[in-house]
Chain A
Amino acid sequence: MEIIRVGMGEYKTAKAPALLVSFGLGSCVGVALYCGAKKIGGLAHIMLPDSSLTGKSDFNPGKFADTAIDLLILEMRNKGANTKKLVAKIAGGAQMFQLKSENSVMMIGKRNVEAVRKKLSELNIDLIAEDVEGNYGRTIEFCCDTGKLTVKTIGHGIKIL
């Protein structure tokens, strides 16, 4: 079975039986999209909520919730997925350090989750499962055969979404 690693700020798509994996998500959010009919999956490892804050025109769009999800869907469509019938599962968005800061810039995890939810709802994609926030890291494995998202942690158990 092919295992495809999706690093920070990357997005990748694959067909069954491949496994899409992101290691050690902290404040980042893993967005898994699935086309059950064609067994095509896509995983984006999103770092930040909003590309408008970058102040640059030339940036890696895979980093931001508002740009990465569009590109992920496009790539899934090119692979033959029916992008009208995608479902989404998300995990991550933790706050690893409990900073006593008023500054919302410091709450990246929570803001990433909110931005991803907003983007998915704009695109009319059903968010069918999530394991988000908290203060611990997660490794996620997205199985393109079953559409199951396995979330592994240190000391907080394993969840299958």
Chain B
Amino acid sequence: MFKEMELDALKEIGNIGAGNAATALSMLLSKRVKMRIPEVKVLPFDEVSKLVGGPENMVTGIFFRIEGELAFNILFIMQPADTLNLLKIMLRQEKTELDLTALEESALKEMGNIIASAFVAALADFTGLSLRVSVPCLAIDMAGAILSFPLSLYGYIGDTAFLLETEFEEGLDGIKVHFFLIPDDDNAFRVLLNTIGVRASNGDNTCGDGRI
């Protein structure tokens, strides 16, 4: 089990990465962007989709696979109205339906790429770890289906989801971008802690009762 102090350290690492990511998003959109303090969450797999409107809710997901000295996944999730608003800011075109053109898909992926890369770059700088970010993948579908892939990867070792989660909010239109960092296993977080000199306990999350 991770201790309180280790969780605080993880949150702080998340905070540094997400702060950079929020700055990148703000520069891209030329708008003010607010960020919630990242939280480390342990919760049943099914509860995760409730954070973004329930398993059947249609959302936009942009996925990145991070490999190297740490293996984890980054997933951005946005509601349909927020997706359309983002496209309006980036491409200066009104749109009412989520039937995206190749250019619009590409714009969303690129936005994801800029935020994810800013996050990973900050993480790599801070820890000295070597990390690679995959090309972005986009899907517009049920939230449960979009989350199932990274959650299942963690499912090999855990009976509950274990993730770092935050939200970016653009100031004027209130566009929200939900950010999830889902590790492949508990080892990813342990390597992180060791790198920054927080001696990790034999933390794992096997009991499946939501305790840490």
Contacts and interface: CB of A to CB of B under 8 A. Distances in A.
- Nearest first, the 6 A-B pairs at minimum CB distance are A24-B144, A137-B145, A26-B145, A26-B148, A24-B55, A97-B137
Given A58-B206, A96-B145, A97-B139, 4 more contacts: A25-B145, A59-B159, A109-B149, A137-B142
| Interface size range of chain A in the complex | 35 or more
A157 interface: no
Nearest to A5: B46
Nearest to A58: B206
Given A7-B44, A106-B65, A97 B145 contact: no
Interface stretch (B6-14, B150-158, B174-182): B150-158
B68 to A, nearest CB: 14
Interface string A9-26: 100000000000001111
Interface in A84-113: 94-101, 105-106, 108-109
B65 A136 contact: no
6 contacts: A8-B46, A24-B56, A28-B152, A47-B152, A97-B138, A100-B134
B69 interface: no
Does more than half of chain A's interface fall in helix, strand or loop, or is it mixed? loop
Interface string B18-60: 0000000000000000000000000011100100001110100
A116 to B, nearest CB: 14
A90 B70 CA distance: 35
Contacts of B134: 99-101
Interface of A: 7-9, 23-28, 47-48, 53-56, 58-60, 63, 94-101, 105-106, 108-109, 135-139, 154
A3 to B, nearest CB: 14
Contacts of B118: none
Nearest to A57: B206
A65 to B, nearest CB: 12
A47 B142 contact: no
Contacts of B151: 8, 47
Contacts of A97: 61, 63, 137-139, 149
A25 B147 CA distance: 9
A154 B152 contact: no
Contacts of B54: 23
